[in-house]
Amino acid sequence: MVTVRALSTLRVVVCELDEPEHARRQKAGLIPTADALLLHCRAHVAPSFLQRPSPVRIRGAVAVRASWRSARANLAGFAAFGARVAVLPAKVAHRDAVRAESIYHGFGLLAAEKPQEVIQAPDAYVSVERTWAHRLVEEIVYDALLSQQTVQRRDLGSQAFMKAGGSQVR
């Protein structure tokens, strides 16, 4: 999972690297194309770029919110990318109107309190028709995922340094 601003909204996206495509891009020195103008230029110079597999597989989005209205607003624009799940306080998630709307919109509902009860499973339908906007979101998520991995590696390096006695260096 990665938190990313995609389609002008900050959201939590559930995703994973497509290892073969990521390796190919690393070997070719292709960085994420997370800017709309840059993507347009890249597609103009190499139209096949948009036809290549995405370097990430987006599974969906999660919105952890206190209200149904804010969860719905966060998830609504992400229908083309996978399952969408709202994590809400149980008293909110169990309301009949919330359950009915979640079914209508295809959102999953999960109670925030433990044990986390699945109140409504998400609709997993994803449109097979892809546009350059789909690719832009994939590239933004790819960029965020690589950035997150870099931070995690740096944190692991710092932890290993400290464990090895790095704090004793004079």
What is the reported pLDDT for 78? 87
pLDDT in tens, 53-100: 999 999 999 999 999 999 999 998 888 888 999 999 999 999 999 999
Q: Give the start-to-end residue ranges of the domains of the chain.
A: 2-164
- Distance, in Å, from the CA atom of 155 to the CA atom of 158, rounded to the nearest integer, reads 5
pLDDT in tens, 4-25: 988 888 899 999 999 999 999 9
Q: 3-class DSSP state for residue 78?
A: coil
Q: What is the mean pLDDT of the chain?
A: 87
Shortest CA distance to 91 belongs to which of 112, 70, 106?
112
What is the reported pLDDT for 152? 62
